[in-house]
Amino acid sequence: MDNEAIIFSQYEKLGGKIKLYGDKWHAEHRNADDKRVRLNLATKEKLVRKIGEIIHNHVNGNKQIKDDTRNINSLSALIDRQDLLIEKRKQAVLVKHKRTFTRKINDCKRLAKYIREHGGYLGTKFLREWNWQDAHFLIDVINKGTRKASPNSRKRCFYEMQECFNKGLVEGYISGTTNLLTEYRKANPVDEFTSDPNKRKNQLNRLMRVWDIQFMKKYLESINDPIFRMANRFEAYSALRVSELFALRKSDVVIKSNEPSYVIVRGQLTNTGDWIEENKTSAGHYRTVTIGTGLAKDLQAYMQDVLDNPHYKKDVLIGKDIDDKPVYGGDLLFPQVKDYILKGYGYNTLNKKFKRHLVGEFAMPENLLVHFFRHWVTTMWARHKIYNVNEACYMLGHNNIKTTQNIYTTIMSNRNYEGIDKDLFLENYYY
């Protein structure tokens, strides 16, 4: 958070309000004598400087603002909740708990951004003054700010504001015994965050009619980047989660001459591209995935011809394994290359990478860019009886077989498809 944002947040926590009228900045608060003080300044910089002086004097004993803990607005409450979550993240021991707190912190930041951009009066209205109309407006604000986000993302943002109201009830700056937002959601049976439940199913079914084996081969041949092409080919065979796929290390690959080759799935990349020895599910951790002869042969040549480039800088630290040994960008099987530096992919960077390649005849909805190939492989397994549902459950790293069954039933259609040879598919001689 920059200095300007810190000053504004401190001012708002103390009950101050900031608005832009025309080309002038306006601020308002009550002084220690409960008299209204208004500031009208020509530039934002001058306003920041003036408010900064007021806050400095206030915290150093010269009370400039009336202390009223009841004057908590939505933006101030979100800042307080964000600070609380940051402290909890610091105290968390397990990586998965740290990631949970990070996600919640990001949800708070996103919601504050949406309120500033689309919320109008909602940002400065005290929580103790909210009514059902404001709750409904909050939903409109979230939906407006998250047009491309999933319904679950929208619900998470709403949940963070619910938690702000819970805190207000506990600390007493919101009167009553019930959470306004909780009661509002209970009283509105129609889920305003939920999209068409058949939308994703229909999108996948349409794509599966086009993406047969030959079309996948055509797509792979269209990728010029040798690292990304091999990563996509591996994904179109293994159905790993993308966080697992791009976290694979060269040492995780075991090439055999007289028996099946395989990879060990033991880590994943975080949203920021850091490597951690952890998987999304317990079933997914430390599982082995067999790779066919065709893929194993090409993978071995790829590691020698592409990854061993002497010009690559390979010593960028991206994490540590369970034995506290360092993991470097040069250890990755499918690293990101930027200015000849090898490192891990962050989610946003990876998403943009897929977006650049999934264009033209290969174009698909943005919500499927990263996850489509996992669905595609699962479909191939089911459609051509490559693996049964129990085998697929293990390969996918699902804890519950019902999850695997739901994927099958979601993306399978009644159309008859030309069969493929199971052995040729498993040995990866089709693409």
Give the domains, in start order, of the chain with CATH numbers: 1-68 (no CATH), 72-194 (1.10.150), 199-426 (1.10.443.10)
Q: What are phi and psi of 27, to 5 degrees?
A: -135, 150
Query: Any idea what the Cα angle at residue 299 is, between residues 298 and 302, rounded to 5°?
Result: 85
Alpha helices, DSSP H only, in 73-221? Answer: 74-91, 95-118, 132-145, 151-171, 180-187, 199-210, 213-221
pLDDT for residue 396 is more than 60: yes
pLDDT at position 67: 57
- Nearest CA-CA partner of 112 in 8, 256, 194, 209: 8
For residue 86, the SS3 value is: helix
- Nearest CA-CA partner of 231 in 253, 211, 255, 260: 253
Alpha helices, DSSP H only, in 239-280? Answer: 242-245
Handedness of CA 346, 351, 355, 357 (dihedral sign): positive
Contact 348, 360 (CB under 8 A): no
pLDDT for residue 329 is more than 90: yes
pLDDT for residue 147 is more than 70: no
DSSP for 379-406 reads HHHHHTTSS-HHHHHHHHT-S-HHHHHH
Q: Is 195 left (phi over 0), alpha (psi -120 to 50) or beta?
A: beta
Contact 382, 392 (CB under 8 A): yes
The pLDDT tens digits for 149-162 are 677 788 889 999 99
Give the separation between CA 423 and CA 408, rounded to whole angstroms.
21
The pLDDT tens digits for 27-85 are 888 777 777 788 888 888 888 888 888 888 776 777 777 655 566 888 888 988 998 99
pLDDT for residue 195 is more than 70: no
Query: Any idea what the Cα angle at residue 140 is, between residues 176 and 113, rounded to 5°?
Result: 90
Q: How many helices (H) and strands (E) does the chain have?
A: 17, 12
Contact 340, 369 (CB under 8 A): no
pLDDT at position 264: 93
pLDDT at position 60: 72
Contact 73, 164 (CB under 8 A): no
Mean pLDDT, residues 371-377 taken together:
91
Cβ partners under 8 Å of residue 223, min gap 6? 229, 232, 357
Q: How confident is the model at residue 273 (pLDDT cuts 50, 70, 90)?
A: confident
Burial class (CB in 10 A: 0-12, 13-18, 19+), 183: middle
DSSP 8-state class, residue 360: G
Which residues share a beta bridge with 343? 336
pLDDT at position 411: 66
Q: Buried (b) or exposed (e) across 63-84, using 16+ Cβ within 10 A? A: ebbbeeeebbbbbbbbbbbbeb
pLDDT at position 39: 85
pLDDT at position 63: 73
pLDDT for residue 354 is more than 90: yes
Q: How confident is the model at residue 258 (pLDDT cuts 50, 70, 90)?
A: confident
Integer-rounded Cα radius of gyration of the chain: 27
pLDDT for residue 204 is more than 90: no
Q: What are phi and psi of 420, to 5 degrees?
A: -125, 160
pLDDT for residue 12 is more than 60: yes
Contact 24, 41 (CB under 8 A): yes
Question: Token digits for 137?
Answer: 């407006």
Cβ partners under 8 Å of residue 199, min gap 6? none
pLDDT for residue 395 is more than 60: yes
Mean pLDDT, residues 174-195 taken together:
77
Contact 1, 9 (CB under 8 A): yes
Which CA distances in Å does 68 have to 12, 32, 48, 56, 77? Answer: 11, 10, 22, 18, 14
Mean pLDDT, residues 409-420 taken together:
63
Q: How confident is the model at residue 244 (pLDDT cuts 50, 70, 90)?
A: very high
Provide the mean pLDDT of the chain. 85
Q: How confident is the model at residue 410 (pLDDT cuts 50, 70, 90)?
A: low
